[in-house]
Chain A
Amino acid sequence: MKKPEITESLLAPGHKACAGCGEALAARIIMDAAGPDIIVTAATGCLEVFSTLYPQSAWKMPWIHSLFENSSAVAAGIEVALKALGRENEAKVIAQGGDGATADIGVGCLSGMFERGHDVLYICYDNEAYMNTGIQRSGLTPFEASTTTSPSGEISWGNKTDKKPMPEIAAAHKIPYVATATVGYIKDLEKKVKKALSIKGPKYLQVHCPCPLGWAHDPSLTIKVAKMAVQTGLIPIFEMENEKITSVRKIAKKQPVEEYLKLQARFRHLFKKIGGEEEIKRIQQIADNNIKKYGLM
């Protein structure tokens, strides 16, 4: 059968992401929406490891792996170099990192990039833990998710803290564009990437991507899980321009958080242990607070 080369993605197949990987899907959609005239940096993490198993690379554009913490600083350097050469109109610069690289390890460099006002789009692939090294909790791991460093057990309900408000932290730098998106709504994700790249200055886009390995759900359910996270209110999808929320994705039909939690084995303990109902009520409270705060309904 003839294979049309032309429709092939800017993230080539043959990369080693798990079957059903939400991050691989997000990266492919984002590259195709942004490309082909882009220069991309990537922090250490799943995305870097699965896409560039030496001596091969899945990327079809200039791409550089930085350290864990400085994909934003490297991107800032590239942007400045393009300006110095007078070639800033030839390519857009995109920096990428996982949730750990963004919210924990690289938050200093990211803040610097925002503060100095570099014309870079930063993309945070939020799969809610350090999946590459074996599912350790990060600053973006949700409340009561079981990970290898916040395991559920006799006296533990899993991760003790809720997600760090990274979009608000980014917006507080007074940058022109901050948005959240999800692989559950691909058209929305594409639209936000295109919009972000049309704006000059630092931009922050946080993409919620389910991880079948770390969240322990069936690989075929990646999109369903991502959509359910939005429909329960746990993951608000919104845009902020100059510190103000300018658009939100309204919840079509509000779902109880159980519908989201029961799809994933990382929340299995909430349904097995005595007292789990009380804990689920606390998660429902987080979702209800989000709905109120962002006006999701």
Chain B
Amino acid sequence: MAKPEGVVAKPGSSKEYKTGSWRTEKPVFKQDKCTDCRICVMVCPDGVIFGSDKKYYADLDYCKGCGICVEECPVDDIEMVVEVR
């Protein structure tokens, strides 16, 4: 069947666009005092913090550098670092 105009057939295709280029600061996970609470995973507006067993990381292809994870981490185990590219 022909695809009607204006229809996007591929779900989740926004991934083709990498929003990471918007960022000026990136979150660095120190993986030091982490308690596995997973609050950083929960509060990321873009859903790009992954990991388990006290080892978490942000997918820097998409992280926009908003800093919510840093603000909300209860043990201050994440910090924002100015990025030089």
Q: Interface residues, chain A, CB within 8 Å of chain B? A: 1, 3-4, 7-9, 11-22, 24-25, 28-29, 51-61, 186, 212, 218-224
B45 to chain A, nearest CB (A): 4
Assembled-state Cα–Cα distance A58/B62 (Å): 13
Contact B14 A3 (CB under 8 A): no
Chain A residues in 8 Å Cβ range of B41: 7
- List B41-60 residues whose CB lies under 8 Å from chain A: 41-48, 50, 57, 59
Known: A13-B14, A16-B19. A220 touches B50 (CB 8 A): no
CB < 8 Å neighbour of B50 from A4, A18, A57, A60: A4
Contact residue among A28, A53, A221, A222 (Cβ-Cβ distance under 8 Å from B47): A28
B interface residues, how many (CB within 8 angstroms): 34
Q: Annotate B6-39 by CB proximity to A: 1 below 8 A, 0 otherwise.
A: 1010111111111100110000000000000000
Q: How far apart are A92's CB and chain B's nearest CB, in angstroms?
A: 17
Q: How many A-B residue pairs have CB under 8 A?
A: 111
Contact B68 A220 (CB under 8 A): yes
- Minimum Cβ distance to chain B for residue A201 (Å): 29
Tell whether A14 pairs with B71 under 8 Å between CB atoms, given A3-B59, A58-B12.
no
Q: A54-B6, A54-B8, A59-B12 are in contact. Are A11 and B62 (CB under 8 A)?
A: no
The residues of A that contact B47 with a CB separation of less than 8 Å are: 8-9, 11, 13, 28
- Report the bound CA distance from A9 to B15 in whole Å: 12
The answer to whether A13 touches B62, judged by C-beta atoms less than 8 angstroms apart, is yes
CB pair A60–B12 under 8 Å, yes or no, is yes
Q: Which residues of B contact A22 (CB under 8 A)?
A: 45
**CB nearest neighbor in A for B15:** A14
Report the minimum CB–CB distance from A67 to chain B (whole Å).
14
Contact residues in A for B57 (Cβ distance below 8 Å): 1
- Name the A residues within 8 Å of B66 (CB-CB): 19-21, 212, 219-220, 222
Q: List 29 A-B contacts (CB under 8 A).
A: A3-B59, A4-B50, A8-B47, A11-B47, A12-B12, A12-B14, A13-B15, A13-B19, A13-B59, A14-B14, A14-B17, A14-B19, A14-B62, A15-B19, A16-B19, A24-B46, A28-B46, A54-B6, A56-B14, A57-B14, A58-B12, A58-B14, A60-B12, A61-B11, A186-B43, A219-B68, A220-B67, A220-B71, A223-B43
